[in-house]
Amino acid sequence: MPVVTLDDFARSFAASTEEFSNTCRRAIQDCDFGYERLDKKSRDEVILCVLKKIAADTQVIGAAERTGVWENGWEENRRAFVAGNYNLDALIPKFIRENQPIRYDGDYIMPTNPRFEYDYMTVFRIWLFQKYFSDCPTIYEFGCGSGLNLVLLASLFPDRELHGLDYVRSSVDLVNTIGKAHNWHMSSHLFDMLNPDECFEIAERGAVFTFGALEQLAGKTENFIQYLLRGKPAICLHVEPTIELYDEDVLFDYLAIQFHRKRGYSENLLPRIQQLESEGRAEILGVKRLNFGSLFMEGYTYIVWRPV
């Protein structure tokens, strides 16, 4: 049975194996990254499932009713967190689904581990945060949701000042509850990336990141980019679905493009940052499509840059 190895992770992240810390290596060793390749019949069934989902899906990213969905969702996580005696597993978002085929290395696979996507994402986040945030005393996550990424950062960098920002109150309340329950240097604030609060300043040598948050702006990312250009963080990191890195002449990628556009996830983030670099206003430090994602699309491309 195939299994994702350290070398495979390094290839996925565009890293050398020497960049993987002991913490990262233990995360790989402690999880089951085995999977089964699909036969033709099973693959056809998956493709048919994806096509039917694209045709029937009615979710519209950026629609007004989505605010209530997020408000209720993060409040549900907060209640589960408190009721479960502050168990951090309660923070895993429900859109990370278990027991279904996923996208990996240019094809659909069936993992043997129900938490394959979450565990893969955890290895990725450990590597990513340690590579890019090691020298940043203050870290800000915009669109922090359940606070899952801030929890990992608190375990990796217990001395850092962490800020979670989100546009719904339930997320802010949840992150503040997490920080208080575990005595972490963590606080949360209301912040609307569509209409950035210029009074909220990024500390010197601060790091900014988004993780599946700019995708929810339905392409209206310019105000936030301008906020970052003015705030001049030491580093900006975005982990977002990036439609421009798919190949529309390949069926596997074409399906992801159709799903991305049917829902209305953001586009043009990478081309915009590339334009800023061409104008001498930004420096791009890294871009990589992981060739890994959920059943319908890949949400784990990373873009790393800084204002100039």
Asked whether residue 94 carries a pLDDT value surpassing 90, the answer given is: no
pTM metric for this prediction: 0.96
Kindly give, in sequence order, each residue whose CB lies less than 8 Å from that of residue 56, ignoring residues fewer than 6 positions away.
none
For 202, list phi and psi in degrees, rounded to 5: -90, 130
Q: For residue 9, what pLDDT band results from cuts at 50, 70 and 90?
A: very high
Span 259-275, mean pLDDT?
Answer: 98
Span 247-259, mean pLDDT?
Answer: 98
Span 100-114, mean pLDDT?
Answer: 96
Asked whether residue 273 carries a pLDDT value surpassing 90, the answer given is: yes
Span 235-252, mean pLDDT?
Answer: 98
Average confidence score pLDDT of the chain: 96
Q: For residue 190, what pLDDT band results from cuts at 50, 70 and 90?
A: very high
Asked whether residue 93 carries a pLDDT value surpassing 90, the answer given is: no
Asked whether residue 77 carries a pLDDT value surpassing 90, the answer given is: yes
Lowest-confidence region among 9-18, 79-88, 140-149: 79-88
Tokens describing residue 243: 């439609």
Span 218-237, mean pLDDT?
Answer: 98
Q: What integer pLDDT is reported at residue 300 of this predicted model?
A: 97
Q: What integer pLDDT is reported at residue 292 of this predicted model?
A: 98
Rounded to 10 deg, the angle between the 40-56 and 251-263 helix axes is 20
Cα–Cα distances in Å, from 199 out to 141, 161, 227? 17, 19, 11
Could you state, in order of their start, the residue ranges of all structural domains in the chain?
A: 92-102+127-143+191-307
Span 292-307, mean pLDDT?
Answer: 97
Q: What integer pLDDT is reported at residue 63 of this predicted model?
A: 87
Asked whether residue 26 carries a pLDDT value surpassing 90, the answer given is: yes
Asked whether residue 97 carries a pLDDT value surpassing 90, the answer given is: no
Residue 303, helix vs strand vs coil: strand
Alpha helices in the chain (DSSP H): 6-13, 22-29, 40-56, 65-83, 116-132, 148-156, 169-182, 222-231, 251-263, 269-278
Asked whether residue 50 carries a pLDDT value surpassing 90, the answer given is: yes
Cα gap 75→189, rounded to integer Å:
15
Q: For residue 288, what pLDDT band results from cuts at 50, 70 and 90?
A: very high
Span 75-99, mean pLDDT?
Answer: 90
pLDDT in tens, 32-43: 999 999 999 999
